[in-house]
Structure 1
Amino acid sequence: MATTTNTNNYKFNHSMLRVKDPKESVKFYEFLGMSVVKKLSFPEAKFDLYFLSYDGPSALSRGNSTFDREGVIELTHNYGTESDPNYRINNGNAEPHRGFGHVCISVDHIQAACKRIEDAGYKFQKKLADGRMKNIAFALDPDGYWVEIISKKIGSKGADDPEEEGKETDPRTYRMNHTMIRVKDAEKSLKFYQEVLGMTLFRTVEQSAAKFNLYFLGYPGSKGMPEGGFTADYEGLLELTWNYGTEKDENFKYHDGNSEPQGFGHICVSVDNLDAACSRFETMNCNWKKRLTDGRMRNVAFLLDPDGYWVEIVQNERFAGKENF
């Protein structure tokens, strides 16, 4: 394994969500075409981790080891929550605890995909036909997390697309496209994710009338940069949402998901050499939640981004030649 680190080798590996009932949550994400590629149990600490990813014939990370993937969702279950009638997840979208926004799945035929989700009895925050944006929908997972549904097809008009009518959908072809978090100061966050974590800005969407911008970042890897800025066929992107003016308010703060009430936990970047990457972060005077040497888990570290969101740093197993856990 190399003794240096190169951010070109980094991957936006996973996004962690706490769940109340793992059976119901795993069932939902499997219904969306994902597979449990790894389960880790820590009975002494009373929690389990479920790593779900697209693994079908057309999946971009098919067959890779867990931490050599992008677009993974990690579900964290703390024992006993499933039988606690008072336990509720913070989905990140209700005041005053907003921060994390959603995960996003891109699909082959959006009308058919949304109908399939609705026919299965799952609820929606926004259906395709609702509002002005007819080309996106938001389903709700069993904990009330928002799951955006978009089309992989360039130029899709969603609910208003006659070419979509009567089509069938194949969940094995879907992508776990992106994770959205809200940020207070776009300039500071873009600098962190580009300069510290080595991500590339793929696309900027300016919604000046509505007073917010969206920034889509990722690692080009073998797929390269998106043609014409079309990113729906990618997996493992990070969407930063910046609402104008928040950076000027000294007292403004987003909820990181880890203080009460809890929900979203962290995003995770896998690196080519964990020790070298952490040494580099040290020289860049990064803020740490947990260094490699802290605590019992000596194979994971956590940085803090400018908003206090946790960014887990783990070893990409392909470079190490062995599994992390």
Structure 2
Amino acid sequence: MSNDQPRTDTSTYKLNHTMVRVKDPKRSVKFYEDNFGMSLINKLDHPDAKFCLYFLAFDSSEADSYGKTWTDREGLLELTHNYGTEDDPNYKVNNGNDDPEHQDKYGKLTLPSAISVNNITRACEELSAAGVQFKEHPSKDRSLNACQEDIVYALDPDGYYIAILQLPVAASEAPQKPKWRFSHTMLRVKDLEASTLFYASYLGMATLYRTKSQGKADSEQAFMGYRPSEYGRNSLDSILKREGVLELVQYYGTEKQDNVKYHNGNDQPQGFGHVCISVDDLDLACARFEGLEGIRWRKRLTDGRMKNVAFLLDPDGYWVEVIQNEALKKRANW
């Protein structure tokens, strides 16, 4: 940072939440509370604009963000409800994975170790017994050995994918929800180098872990987040232990293909909305963004009626919300 740039400290930033739209908030909140042990820690109603926001978190005494104000946390799930959708028989979100017209357009909402922190097999059995649906039913379509390589996709009430992964801990007799984590959110990207540069240079994230996968589609993954020294780098185990991580996935060769363009979740048909970072000083952070070459805005602080949020666009057009961490500086009357 040059001497004449605004003095905002990106090392204090947090990957606060992931937002998805839902049809029926009562159904969705109950689903995450009853099945995964998440808690509703905040609700923001905007009757004039006819929408409501529900913020869910893992909030046991063992959670990293236990007891903190909602803007000072990582690993939150924001459910956005537009009034009336629960009574609209034609309303259906696009989960980014199953719509044939928009197949493979954006990533899965992932709770990679939030579901089977200590015993993936038992956790999936209990979820299934409670009526949770799976993309592949673990007891019928595949076997699980409670190892880190195992991954199962559960489905929430709107059909969003929830990846269930095994925490790097010894298996115990029964799942222990107080240890579960909303570890990371996955987004598909066209050019991994361009995307990692954006999140590192503009938003101050570090590459925590990077790996390659081979299978139906060869791909490379980069896990991005803040405070790498607290959890360590270059280890999938460290990713699964923490919250507030962004997984960027690129399929080989897409950076050279002009026709590759991922659905950002906000163009029609809608579903996923954005990821959000909370910052030390919202005004200074946005002033710094203004001074960075190549920055793209979806909404500046001065745009529209909501003066407490801004939105950037990443290289693939995904929205990145920027808000004030109210534990560091009071600004908004939430």
Q: Output the TM-score relative to the length of structure 2.
A: 0.89
Q: Is the 8 A contact 1:100 1:257 kept in 2?
A: no
Give secondary structure in 1 for the equivalent of 2:26.
helix
Going by fraction, where is strand more abundant, 1 or 2?
1
The alpha carbon displacement at 1:234 in A equals 0.7
The alpha carbon displacement at 1:324 in A equals 4.5
Aligned pair partner of 1:191 in 176, 187, 197 = 197
Q: Percent identity?
A: 50
The alpha carbon displacement at 1:19 in A equals 0.1
Structure 2 letter corresponding to 1:243: Y
Residues 291 and 321 (structure 1 numbering): CA distance in 2 closer, same or farther, change over 3 Å?
closer
Work out the number of aligned pairs and report it: 314
- Distance in 2, matches of 1:245 and 1:28, equals 38
- 1:89-100 aligned at under 5 Å gives the runs 89-94=93-98, 95-97=100-102, 98-100=105-107
Give secondary structure in 1 for the equivalent of 2:93.
coil
**Equivalent in the alignment of 2:265:** 257
- Distance in 1, matches of 2:212 and 2:231, equals 23
- Distance in 2, matches of 1:188 and 1:221, equals 21
The alpha carbon displacement at 1:28 in A equals 1.1
- Distance in 2, matches of 1:101 and 1:220, equals 24
Residues 127 and 205 (structure 1 numbering): CA distance in 2 closer, same or farther, change over 3 Å?
farther
Q: Is the 8 A contact 2:208 2:234 kept in 1?
A: no
**Equivalent in the alignment of 1:68:** 72
**Equivalent in the alignment of 1:288:** 297
**Equivalent in the alignment of 1:160:** none
Structure 2 letter corresponding to 1:206: K
Residue 225 in structure 1 maps to residue 229 in structure 2? no
Structure 1 letter corresponding to 2:315: P
Residues 103 and 208 (structure 1 numbering): CA distance in 2 closer, same or farther, change over 3 Å?
closer
Q: Is the 8 A contact 1:61 1:69 kept in 2?
A: yes
Which stretch shows the higher mean deviation, 221-230 or 49-58? Answer: 221-230
**Equivalent in the alignment of 1:307:** 316
- 1:24-43 aligned at under 5 Å gives the runs 24-31=27-34, 32-43=36-47
- Distance in 1, matches of 2:292 and 2:62, equals 38
- Distance in 1, matches of 2:135 and 2:185, equals 17
The alpha carbon displacement at 1:16 in A equals 0.3
Residues 279 and 133 (structure 1 numbering): CA distance in 2 closer, same or farther, change over 3 Å?
farther
The alpha carbon displacement at 1:33 in A equals 1.0
Stretches of structure 2 that go unaligned for 5 or more consecutive residues are 1-5
**Equivalent in the alignment of 1:240:** 248
Residues 40 and 227 (structure 1 numbering): CA distance in 2 closer, same or farther, change over 3 Å?
same
**Equivalent in the alignment of 1:103:** 110
The alpha carbon displacement at 1:4 in A equals 2.3
Provide Cα deviations, 1:43-98, integer angstroms capped at 9, x if missing partner.
11111100001110100000110010000000000011111111101001134322
Residue 115 in structure 1 maps to residue 125 in structure 2? yes
Q: Is the 8 A contact 2:121 2:144 kept in 1?
A: no
- 1:61-210 aligned at under 5 Å gives the runs 61-94=65-98, 95-97=100-102, 98-106=105-113, 107-128=117-138, 130=141, 135-153=150-168, 167-208=173-214, 210=217
Structure 2 letter corresponding to 1:54: F
The alpha carbon displacement at 1:100 in A equals 2.7
The alpha carbon displacement at 1:215 in A equals 1.1
- Distance in 2, matches of 1:65 and 1:222, equals 23
